[in-house]
Chains A and B, each alone.
Chain A
Amino acid sequence: MNEEDFGHLVRQYSRLIRSAVARIAGPSAAGICDDVEQNVLIALWQAMPGEQIPDHPSSYIYRAAVRETIRAVRGLKQTSELGPDADKADLSVSQDVIVEGKELGRAIRTTLSEIGPDRRRAVTAHLAGYDVKEIMAMFEWPYHKARNLIARGMADLRRKLDARGCRD
């Protein structure tokens, strides 16, 4: 692989990692994602040995891209946690709402442990923010199986939360 091809591959990866980080950061973090793309571009070049580009670097660069994605997401979290507004309390959410939310959260987690394994995994992933396509990829389920497990698992969850009297 010559340097031009390698450069093209690196640019494709840095753009992809930008979109992977944007999946977490959301559209409001466009500026952060610009920085991520730039940093990843540099890091991927530096990950390669300086003297010579390997004949077949693509598998290796995928691994480097995995590492850079992890670093970028971790860096993103640190930026958001240590940013200028990090020490300001969110006054829009009252303490009561947080306490109620935690109570419901604990009930959800307890209830999930009572659901069958596949439905539990599907619902847990659904609540953790994974979309159907990601759940399919994660568990190697076909579309209809993933959709059915989410739907039936959510129905189980609602019914059991109702029985506990903690859905409303």
Chain B
Amino acid sequence: MTEIVRFRTAFMLTDPTEAERHLSEQQWESLACGELDQENHEAALDHILGCRRCAEIHQSLLVLRENAHTFDPGAPVPNVARKSSSRGWIFSGMLAVAATLLVIVFRPVGPDLTNSGPPAAFDPVLRSSQWEQSATPLSPVGQTSMSRVVFSWTSSPTAPVSIVQLIDGHGEVVWTSQETEANTLDWPDNIAPSPGRHYWRVLSFGGAAGGQQASDLVAFDLSEFPSGNPG
């Protein structure tokens, strides 16, 4: 038995948090969609790493998250994929700078090295990924009072026209707003707010590329009481 197998077997034989509270289905869903704030995210990972049962679920969800976005544009893109994508552009930009420096340094050596111009400079707007160009929903998110719901978001930097979609707990689109260049909208008059889980998102378009991009789907729970004051 190799050392790492022996260590892993020993580690898994002692599972101190097995009896403690596992993640709820809602917490799993939020984790898988990247919706937990940093504190809750770290607390969830601390539990998962100490709990064999939750680690197995988590490993399977990582497979799901790593691959779903490759065929489903509505699935979240893993942060590593986004970062490596942006790092790729940064790397390209660094190569461009290095190439420019080489051309400048070696200009006197011979005419061949001066013939090809440097690649274009890194342009974060032109080169940004599709993910970075979607709108960012701000509120409502999480527990929300039914008394007044206002949708607010940060518009896409490249696609200024927005449409808000409201989706009920069964996944049905129950309202699609008019096109707007604002970044807030009130709850629609023709939809009676009902307690329970809802989702919403922003579709952005009107940019130079001519496409339409969907933001992350955001979950919120409507309740009759102001959040944090159920009594």
Interface residues of A (CB under 8 A from B): 9, 12-13, 16-17, 19-21, 23-24, 47-49, 52, 54-67, 69-70, 72-74, 77, 98, 101-106, 108-109, 121, 124-130, 133-134, 136-142, 157
Contact = CB atoms under 8 A, between A and B. Distances in A.
B11 A109 contact: yes
Contacts of B194: none
Contact of B55 (A98, A128, A133): A128
Contacts of A133: 66
Contacts of A106: 14
A125 B57 CA distance: 14
Contact of B64 (A52, A69, A102, A157): A69
Contacts of B60: 17, 20-21, 23-24, 69-70, 72-73
B68 A137 contact: no
Nearest to A117: B42
Nearest to A21: B60
Contacts of A129: 8, 12, 55, 59
B9 interface: yes
Interface size class of B (residues with CB under 8 A): 35 or more
B7 interface: yes
B85 to A, nearest CB: 12
B219 to A, nearest CB: 8
Judged by DSSP, the binding face of B is helix
Contacts of B58: 138
Contacts of A58: 72-75
Nearest to B51: A128
B117 to A, nearest CB: 31
Contacts of A103: 10
Contacts of A108: 7, 10-11, 14
Nearest to B63: A20
Nearest to B73: A58
Greatest chain A CB density within 10 A among B52, B68, B78 is at B68
A47 B49 CA distance: 30
14 contacts: A12-B71, A16-B63, A20-B63, A59-B201, A73-B60, A98-B13, A101-B13, A102-B13, A102-B14, A104-B6, A105-B11, A108-B10, A124-B50, A138-B58
B224 to A, nearest CB: 25
A32 to B, nearest CB: 13
A20 B56 contact: no
Contact of B59 (A12, A23, A47, A157): A23
Contacts of A127: 7-8, 11-12
B21 interface: no
Given A66-B28, A66-B33, A70-B25, 9 more contacts: A16-B63, A20-B64, A49-B172, A55-B173, A58-B73, A60-B74, A129-B55, A133-B66, A137-B65
Interface string B72-90: 1111101110011001000
B25 A137 contact: no
A161 to B, nearest CB: 9
Contacts of B59: 23-24, 129-130, 134
Contact of A73 (B4, B6, B57, B79): B57
B13 A20 contact: no
Contacts of A126: 4
B222 interface: no
Interface in B194-231: 199, 201, 203, 214, 216-217
Contact of B49 (A24, A63, A124): A124
